[in-house]
Amino acid sequence: MFKLVLRNLLGHPIRSAITAVSVGVALFLVCILTSIITTLQSGLAAASSTRLVVMSSISLFQDIPLSYQERIASVDGIASVVKWQWFGGYYKSQENFFGQFAVDPERMFEVYPEVKVDEATKQKFLTQRNACIVGWQLAAEFPEWQETGKIPLTGALFPHPSGGAWDFELAGIYRSEAANFDNRTMFFRWDLFEETLKGNGDSPGVGVYVMSLDPGADVERIRAEVETMFENGPATVRCDTESEFTRQFLSMLGDIPMFLGWIGAGVLVAILLGAINAMLMAGREQTHDIGILKALGFTDGAAFGVLIAQSLVLCLAGGAFGVGLAALLEEGIALAIGSAFPGFFIETTTYIGAGVASLLVGLAAGAIPAWNALRVNCVEALRAKGA
């Protein structure tokens, strides 16, 4: 009977191909949309609840004083404090958008042990003033950096005193093994940043301080102590765990997961209706064949099976195509949307979910024609016009 199922599908190759590809494209989109959601959520899940972030109590875009660093570091239970400042420059053109941060090089490796570099890279970054490190995804986008070793950036927020570009030298590539730390960012040294800006007569502020804690440190006490410490200072601060900070940062983007979820659901419903339509046509055309099968002694259940199997084969083939396409393009998509969704990846459970979705679409699309095949009277079916 499986031969009959396949022959019926191959009997209308264009219709079958269009339906399967439609299901495939829809499930590919669902895989991508779902993965954007899981990528956002995994960043949140991976964010540490024992790493603290200090920012201005007014907004993330308000700087806090440089002088706070040593006072924060003096709080009992804090192991290390690294300062971050958003540079906001661009490479060649403003379309080449990626994150660049001025950081304390030694402390960065102390606070973020998940950021891995080789020893030569680390030494160069720690010792050479204009050295920088970039994530592997970013390095893949601009292969010329590794060829020349130079990264000239135009400072949009912080223009270079010379009026020209900031010339950085690539120390090496970093890889982050954790979802909360993306691989599409550039880090350069704070001392270069600060000293260069002095040429403009500027003294830079700090975007955020990130602290790692001693083992067993009391997170709530430290948070409260840091916030209280600057209550009467030039800038009041709030101190959150990294996970809370990440959650609040993502919430600034709006409810993206819900929005993407609705789009994914809409795509699935649309493709379900398309598949139902294709299967209703197939069922109508095969009514006569169903009559023949019943006349030969095949049961109503067998007739049901012929139609539902066609729908399942069609939708599962489409699902396999969509999942395969997503797996094939995962790396390229990660690069393409890396600026908006750093650390994009497709989880195994997403592939499994897409497979289950194609199975359910197949069952739902084949249900009506299969039910009709089950119920149709043999004599009536034989009177129906064949395909």
Q: Where on the chain is the footprint of other proteins (CB under 8 A)?
A: 1, 3-4, 7-8, 10-11, 288-289, 291-301, 377-379, 382, 386-387
Q: Which residue in the block uniquely carries the two structure tokens 């570091």?
A: 73
CB of 374 to other proteins, least distance (A): 11
Query: What 3-state class would DSSP assign to 147?
Result: helix
- Is the CB of 197 or the CB of 293 nearer to other proteins? 293
CB of 142 to other proteins, least distance (A): 55
- Is the CB of 244 or the CB of 300 nearer to other proteins? 300
CB of 382 to other proteins, least distance (A): 7
CB of 30 to other proteins, least distance (A): 32
- Is the CB of 132 or the CB of 306 nearer to other proteins? 306
CB of 316 to other proteins, least distance (A): 20
- Is the CB of 117 or the CB of 292 nearer to other proteins? 292
- Gap between the Cα atoms of 381 and 379, Å rounded: 5
CB of 310 to other proteins, least distance (A): 11
**365 closest CA partner among 289, 280, 292:** 280
Q: Are 224 and 238 in contact, with CB atoms under 8 Å apart?
A: no
Q: How far is CA 295 from CA 13, 119, 155, 290, in A?
A: 28, 78, 81, 9
Q: Is the dihedral of CA 330, 335, 339, 342 positive or negative?
A: positive
Tokens matching residue 80: 């290390």
CB of 281 to other proteins, least distance (A): 15
Q: Are 318 and 305 in contact, with CB atoms under 8 Å apart?
A: no
- Is the CB of 276 or the CB of 282 nearer to other proteins? 282
- Is the CB of 227 or the CB of 300 nearer to other proteins? 300
Q: Which residues pair with 55 in a beta bridge?
A: 238
- Is the CB of 6 or the CB of 140 nearer to other proteins? 6
- Gap between the Cα atoms of 314 and 376, Å rounded: 23
CB of 297 to other proteins, least distance (A): 2
Neighbours of 22 (CB within 10 A): 19
Burial class (CB in 10 A: 0-12, 13-18, 19+), 258: exposed
Q: What is the DSSP string of 31-44?
A: HHHHHHHHHHHHHH
- Is the CB of 292 or the CB of 363 nearer to other proteins? 292
Radius of gyration of the chain (CA): 29
CB of 289 to other proteins, least distance (A): 5
Q: Is the dihedral of CA 175, 181, 183, 186 positive or negative?
A: negative
Q: Are 22 and 271 in contact, with CB atoms under 8 Å apart?
A: yes
- Gap between the Cα atoms of 276 and 17, Å rounded: 15
- Gap between the Cα atoms of 185 and 137, Å rounded: 8
Buried b (16+ CB within 10 A) or exposed e, 245-256: bbeeebeeeeee
CB of 313 to other proteins, least distance (A): 14
- Is the CB of 140 or the CB of 374 nearer to other proteins? 374
Tokens matching residue 115: 């950021």
**Who contacts 119 (Cβ-Cβ below 8 Å, separation ≥6)?**
none
- Is the CB of 72 or the CB of 293 nearer to other proteins? 293
